[in-house]
Structure 1
Amino acid sequence: MNSQHPVTIAPSILSADFADFGREIRAVEGAGADWIHVDVMDGHFVPNLTFGPATCRAIRPHITTVMDVHLMIAPVDPYIDAFAAAGADRLTAHLEAGPHIHRTLQAIRAAGVRPGVAVNPGTPIEAVFPLLDMVDLVCVMTVNPGFGGQSFIAARVPDVARLRAAIGDRPVKIEVDGGIAPDTAPGVVAAGADVLVAGSAVFTGGSADDPAPYAANIAAIRQAVAQRRA
């Protein structure tokens, strides 16, 4: 892959104002977001509880880019059709969420949604290599999933590079999720990441009424990546 490939910024609405999702989404898209990342947590697979299909259905009309739904839930399969019907463009399931990841990925694609697989920091990156012909995206977690605002796990950067080498010419995107900010983004992009999920690094300081900080925060991430490439 060309080292100068465009970087996709996917703000996580986990850091947005929950009482004002529609305006927040429109504001952050207007500020330069490429995708909208929706962190679905079940209080079982991860120690937090967030959104379900009804929330995705409610925010779908406000999203003009891509609804990137990250399923941090177990089991996954019983909910695939509901999230697909709610308008998800992409559904990413965790490798660790169940014993039959192939079946899960097949079901996501059969539902008309682009499938992705996420892998936790404690799981060797090589575990996803047999799945690369089944997915459109691999989400490399650089924090342990469950909460926003955690510190970036730098040991994951070499894993991104190994994953990029394994992907080769396949049309598979690498998404990095966790602790992404202007100081961490350049390293993961240099290693081969295509998509950067950022929560607090995008939403800090702004609001739907004052979205200028969102634009400045997104621009700061892009500028840091560009400076590393220069």
Structure 2
Amino acid sequence: MVVDAVKRSTHLPVDVHLMIKDPDKLLENFVKAGANYITVHYEAAAHLNRTINRIKELGCKAGVSINPATPVQSLEDIAEYADLILLMSVNPGFGGQSFIPNVLKKIHELVELRKKLHAKFLIEIDGGIDNKTIQPALKAGVDVFVAGSSIFKADNITAATAELKNILKANI
């Protein structure tokens, strides 16, 4: 499993995003492989409360992801139990898509929901994160960024990573 290899090569927490239907079947496998965070899709978990509780029982932090078209209000009854809320800023399916700007509004809504609930979940974003979108997402309230294509399709992965880090450092 790829997670095993990643876990052996880093001291950082391993954040696993399960973009699958019925994620409950594979939770134990990902925990055994070394996941620290396991995120499941709101739209794919039949019993989200049960799934979040199971992830935590297995010793991991639990995350919930929503697709760009899913309203933030859908999370009101579950958000306080999550350690992380992941907003997809592209439609799931493949890498290299463009950031959907409407997600910035959803970040603000999620920040307000976190305040309203007195919750401590992290806000994560995944999809279309690059040197143009990372700053607006940070300013909107994102805590954790997933940058795939902007790094791995770059001519120089180290330079692309450094550029994103520098943008974050300059705006924190």
Q: TM-score, normalized by length of structure 1? A: 0.70
Query: For 1:74-85, what aligned pairs fall within 5 Å after superposition?
Result: 74-85=21-32
> Is residue 131 of structure 1 aligned with residue 78 of structure 2?
yes
What is the aligned partner in structure 2 of residue 196 from structure 1?
A: 145
Q: Which residue of 2 aligns with 1:152?
A: 99
The Cα offsets for residues 73-111 of structure 1, whole Å up to 9 and x where unpaired, read as 111111111111111010000000032111111110011
**Contact 2:6/2:14, CA 8 A, preserved across alignment:** no
**Stretches of 4+ moved more than 6 A in 1?**
none
Looking at structure 2, the residues matched to 199 and 156 of structure 1 have their Cα atoms a distance apart, in angstroms, of 18
Asked if residue 224 in structure 1 is aligned to residue 167 in structure 2, the reply is yes
Aligned AA for 1:79? L
Structure 1 residue aligned with 2:34: 87
Contact in 2 for aligned 1:129/1:163 (Cα 8 Å): no
Write the letter of the residue equivalent to 1:94: H
Distance 1:197 1:130 in 2: 25
In structure 1, stretches of 5+ residues that fail to align are: 1-53, 207-212
In the alignment, what sits opposite 2:123? 174
Identity of aligned residues (%): 35
- What is the aligned-residue RMSD (CA, Å)? 1.6
Paired residues in the alignment total 170
| Structure 2: segments with no counterpart, 5+ residues | none
Pairing 1:1-230 to 2, within 5 Å after superposition: 54-168=1-115, 169-206=118-155, 213-227=156-170, 229=171
